[in-house]
Amino acid sequence: MDVTRRFWVLAAMGVFLAAVSVRFERPFLLVGAAGIGAWLIATQYAFAWTLVRFDDMVQISQAVSPERGFTTQQFHVTLSVSAADRLPYPVDVSIQPPPSVTGIDDEPVECRLSPADDKATVTGTFRSPVAGRVRFDSPTVYIADTFGLFQESFRRGDPTTATVEPPQPTDVRVGHGDVASVSEGTYPIPQGGESLVFRSLREYVPTDPANRIDWRATARLAEPQVLEFERQTDHRVEIVIDRRREMTVGDPGRTKLDYCRAVALSFVDGLEQSRDPTGLLVFDDDGVVTVRDPRSNREWYKLLRTLLHDQVDSSLAADAAGSGLHPSVGELALPDAGARARKYLATDRTDFGRSILPFAGTERPLPAQTTDDSLFSTVEMLSKRLSGPVVTAIFTDDSRPVKTRESVKLARRGEGQVVVFLTPTVLFEPQALDDVESVYERYRSFESFRRELDRLRGVSAHEVSPGGRSDAVRAAVEYHQ
Amino acid sequence: MSDKVTQMPAFVTGRSDTRAPFVATGLGLVMVLLTLWFTAGVPGAALGIAVAVISLLLSPPIGFAFAQAGLLAVFPDGLALVAFLLVEWSLLLTLFASLVRSPAPAQTLGMGLASLLGLTSFARLLALETGSAVTGAVFVLGGVGAVLYTIHRFERVELGLTEVSN
């Protein structure tokens, strides 16, 4: 416990009386010093007597609502303090928000349980601009004694946590006309041939089937050995993502680009399971901003997801469109910078150099933009860089149908396959559902464009849209009809 | 039955009556005034009034300390044993009456009185044995400090604010 200034004043008086008692040889003054000392001991004992019974007398709880939300959302933390018996002193209890959250009220959230009350509740409102787990530590209790001599503060009650996520689409619909293409998280991935390839040799363990023992290796190494294989497919996948200005249409965190990113991430999950070599190409209004050759090792898929989170971002697209410059996401995002870095790192034999080499991108220089449509020029560049059968997954919208159609045809070249994920602009506009008739007409145009693409040989076209709005449009039209 | 429980005295229920401290302190101050008047005449009565005012305006411990210093002025040649017992008893009554406001008055008063008796008895014993008033004064100050620190550590450990080994 801590002592207050008033305590030190009384203690000083006791010392003064003792000193005067000695100086003037008056023993009765020592009784005065002892009296003040005894009084201080008694009051401190009374305070400690209350504190050690605190847990039996007071219950403190806190709860955060909602337990899971987004960075744009407000969180409410409710603190409840109740007393089983009447308290001798008032108790102040305050919530301990982490530094990452901002209080909407900008005042400490605390409640006072006075001796006359048996319950007190307070609710604080917070917002967390940072995604992650937000932990509210155990509330802090502050209590002081009646005479103002002693005070104590300590933590009581359980901590509570909330999970804060960046704003993201939660109702992604990947449709193929009226039929959803997605069921239980499976995405339309074209299937190619597959084969088993040798991965490693390891010692036999009793749970292995006996027919997997490799007798030659066993004879050579004098211990039973088994061969391990893994499945490998023979087609490569190139993910092409449109990050142009038109892809930023939509509410914050729920733009066309955000929906495309969500689908692309799930698409990558499926590709990782089949270990398809997968590359990435992101372009905006000025051309290609990120290019990575297809790879299939486990670290690559992890990196691919990171790239999708970092590069496929509405704020970057909006910034680039606004400034007319490439987004400032680091030099390695620029194709020529990646090539330069790779050339330099190729001669770097240090652990650091070897570790960041895979992040440096392609070693081949990118061709200059040849047409006024960046999707077309990107696909054109892709067709020159990659040979053999390639599955191209294009994430774009319906704002430039003619150019998109030409780009898809170009991507399909030879025996290649193309999967197009199209976002209908009409379903992302903020006032989209105000005029149902108009919305339906525009949606029909989109659907006819999607079907047109879908009818092309080797092409599969899917709609990516907010499920709620898509259903609302259909329901509204059915109601009017 | 429930009526009987609520009528139980504060030292049983652990609750303090809000009027009791003021009544006890008031009675104590009246006794201080009377005993000082009786033992020292008008100067004593003046001191008693000053002690009452300080006790009520500031706090009983400050009034108690002021009274001790005032005794030095009122009785420059020292107090007779009877006068000493009367005055100190009434002053201590005023001082400890304020403890009735504490959450456990019986335990608190018991602790206060035991501390007072222990401190004064051992201080006097030491002073007589060693023939030095300094020893007694050091014992009082050291003893109070030791007990205060012990209670402080006990409270910290009981609340889980520190490790026992610390």
Torsion of CA B67, B73, B76, B80, to 10 degrees: -20
B9 touches chain A (CB under 8 A): no
Residue B152 banded pLDDT, cuts 50, 70, 90 = very high
Say which range, A11-15, A42-46, A436-440, A463-467, has the weakest mean pLDDT.
A436-440
The type of residue at A336 is D
Nearest CA distance, B71 vs chain A (angstrom)? 9
Note whether B62 contacts A49, CB cutoff 8 Å.
no
Give dist(CA A156, CA B159) in Å, integer. 10
Chain B contact set for A27 (CB, 8 A):
124, 127, 133, 136
Nearest CA distance, A119 vs chain B (angstrom)? 19
What pLDDT does A173 receive?
A: 85
Q: Return all residues near A346 (Cβ < 8 A) that are at least 6 apart.
A: A357, A363
Helix (H, G, I), strand (E, B) or coil at B3: helix
The kind and range of the H/E element at A212 are none
What pLDDT does A8 receive?
A: 92
The kind and range of the H/E element at A74 are strand A74-83
Say which range, A105-119, A220-234, A264-278, B25-39, has the weakest mean pLDDT.
A220-234
Nearest CA distance, B98 vs chain A (angstrom)? 9
What pLDDT does B99 receive?
A: 83
Q: Among partner residues A18, A46, A54, which is closest to B137 by beta-carbon distance?
A: A18
Q: Return all residues near A160 (Cβ < 8 A) that are at least 6 apart.
A: A62, A63, A64, A77, A135, A136
Other Cβ atoms closer than 10 A to B97: 22
What pLDDT does A191 receive?
A: 55
Note whether B136 contacts A27, CB cutoff 8 Å.
yes
pLDDT above 50 (res B144): yes
Q: Among partner residues B68, B109, B161, which is closest to A154 by beta-carbon distance?
A: B161
B133 touches chain A (CB under 8 A): yes
Counts for chain A of helices (H) and strands (E), in that order: 13, 23
Give dist(CA A289, CA B95) in Å, integer. 83
Q: Which residue of A has its CA nearest to B102?
A: A46
C-alpha distances in angstroms, B115 versus A42, A78, A382, B14, B62?
8, 45, 91, 21, 19
Q: Which residue of B has its CA nearest to A35?
A: B116
Chain A contact set for B108 (CB, 8 A):
42-43, 45-46, 49
Chain A contact set for B136 (CB, 8 A):
27, 30
B93 touches chain A (CB under 8 A): no
Q: Which residue of B has its CA nearest to A36?
A: B61
Q: What is the mean pLDDT of residues B110-124?
A: 89
Nearest CA distance, B164 vs chain A (angstrom)? 15
pLDDT above 50 (res A330): no
B8 touches chain A (CB under 8 A): no
What pLDDT does A387 receive?
A: 73
Q: Among partner residues A9, A28, A45, which is closest to B151 by beta-carbon distance?
A: A45
Chain A contact set for B68 (CB, 8 A):
17, 28-29, 31-32, 35
φ, ψ for residue A344, nearest 5 deg = -70, -45
Q: In the numeric block, which tokens belong to residue A322?
A: 């606004």
Residue A44 banded pLDDT, cuts 50, 70, 90 = very high
Note whether A28 contacts B68, CB cutoff 8 Å.
yes
Q: Which residue of B has its CA nearest to A154?
A: B161
Tens of pLDDT, residues B59-100: 888 888 888 888 888 887 777 788 888 888 888 888 888 888
Residue B14 banded pLDDT, cuts 50, 70, 90 = very low
Say which range, A135-139, A339-343, A362-366, B54-58, has the weakest mean pLDDT.
A362-366
Give dist(CA A305, CA A284) in Å, integer. 19
pLDDT above 70 (res A230): no
What pLDDT does A157 receive?
A: 87
The kind and range of the H/E element at A199 are strand A194-203
Other Cβ atoms closer than 10 A to A221: 12
Give dist(CA A378, CA A146) in Å, integer. 77
**Comparing C-alpha atoms, which of A411, A385, A381 is closest to residue A396?**
A411
Residue B142 banded pLDDT, cuts 50, 70, 90 = very high
Nearest CA distance, A39 vs chain B (angstrom)? 6
C-alpha distances in angstroms, A358 versus A300, A345, B37, B128?
8, 10, 98, 89
Distance of CA B155 to the CA centre of its chain: 23
Q: Which residue of A has its CA nearest to B99?
A: A43
Chain A contact set for B16 (CB, 8 A):
88
Note whether B148 contacts A48, CB cutoff 8 Å.
no
Note whether B99 contacts A54, CB cutoff 8 Å.
no
Say which range, A197-206, A252-261, A326-335, A373-382, has the weakest mean pLDDT.
A326-335
Q: In the numeric block, which tokens belong to residue A266?
A: 């799930």
Torsion of CA B43, B47, B50, B51, to 10 degrees: -170
Cβ proximity of A10 and A40 under 8 Å? yes
Rg of chain B (C-alpha set)? 19
Q: What is the mean pLDDT of chain A?
A: 80
Q: What percent of chain A lies above the pLDDT cut of 90? A: 11
State the alpha helices, DSSP H only, in B58-80: 60-74
Chain B contact set for A34 (CB, 8 A):
116, 119-120, 123, 140, 144
Residue B149 banded pLDDT, cuts 50, 70, 90 = very high
B139 touches chain A (CB under 8 A): no
Q: Which residues in A204-319 belong to E strands, given as ranges?
A: 225-233, 236-242, 250-251, 254-255, 278-284, 287-295
Cβ proximity of B108 and B99 under 8 Å? yes
How would you class B141 by CB atoms within 10 Å of its CB: exposed for 0-12, middle for 13-18, buried for 19 or more? buried
Strands A172-176 and A459-466 come out as antiparallel
Say which range, A270-274, A329-333, B131-135, has the weakest mean pLDDT.
A329-333
Say which range, A433-442, B28-37, B67-76, B104-113, has the weakest mean pLDDT.
A433-442
Note whether B155 contacts A48, CB cutoff 8 Å.
yes
Residue A302 banded pLDDT, cuts 50, 70, 90 = confident
Tens of pLDDT, residues A236-271: 899 999 999 889 888 877 889 989 998 898 888 888
Q: How many residues does chain B have?
A: 166
**Comparing C-alpha atoms, which of B95, B90, B99 is closest to residue B64?**
B95
Note whether A30 contacts B120, CB cutoff 8 Å.
yes
How would you class A472 by CB atoms within 10 Å of its CB: exposed for 0-12, middle for 13-18, buried for 19 or more? middle
Other Cβ atoms closer than 10 A to A383: 18
Q: Which residue is listed with tokens 């429930």?
A: B2
Q: What percent of chain A lies above the pLDDT cut of 70? A: 84
pLDDT above 50 (res A363): no
Higher pLDDT, B19 or A268: A268
Q: Among partner residues A28, A39, A51, which is closest to B84 by beta-carbon distance?
A: A28
Give dist(CA B92, CA B99) in Å, integer. 11
What pLDDT does B150 receive?
A: 93
Chain B contact set for A152 (CB, 8 A):
155, 159
Note whether B69 contacts A48, CB cutoff 8 Å.
no
Chain B contact set for A24 (CB, 8 A):
72
Cβ proximity of A199 and A212 under 8 Å? no
The kind and range of the H/E element at A297 are none
Note whether B107 contacts A48, CB cutoff 8 Å.
no
Rg of chain A (C-alpha set)? 34
Q: What's the whole-model pTM score?
A: 0.57
B104 touches chain A (CB under 8 A): yes
Cβ proximity of A249 and A425 under 8 Å? yes
Distance of CA B98 to the CA centre of its chain: 9
Q: What is the mean pLDDT of residues A321-350?
A: 56
Torsion of CA A308, A311, A313, A314, to 10 degrees: -140
State the alpha helices, DSSP H only, in A314-435: 314-323, 335-346, 351-356, 374-385, 401-411
The type of residue at A189 is I
**Comparing C-alpha atoms, which of A323, A232, A330 is closest to residue A290?**
A330
* Residues pairing with A164 in the sheet: A69, A132
Q: What is the mean pLDDT of residues A214-236?
A: 77
The kind and range of the H/E element at A439 are helix A436-455
Q: Which residue of A has its CA nearest to B67?
A: A32
Which of B:24-83 have CB within 8 Å of A? Answer: 59, 61-62, 64-65, 67-69, 71-72, 78-79
Note whether B102 contacts A86, CB cutoff 8 Å.
no
Give dist(CA B56, CA B49) in Å, integer. 11
Give dist(CA A312, CA A307) in Å, integer. 8
Q: Return all residues near B42 (Cβ < 8 A) that are at least 6 apart.
A: none
The kind and range of the H/E element at A428 are none
Q: What is the largest CA-CA distance in chain A?
A: 115
φ, ψ for residue A23, nearest 5 deg = -65, -45
pLDDT above 70 (res A361): no
Tens of pLDDT, residues A161-185: 888 877 777 788 887 766 555 444 4
Tens of pLDDT, residues A312-324: 777 776 665 555 4
First to last CA, chain B: 48
pLDDT above 50 (res B13): no
Nearest CA distance, A56 vs chain B (angstrom)? 12
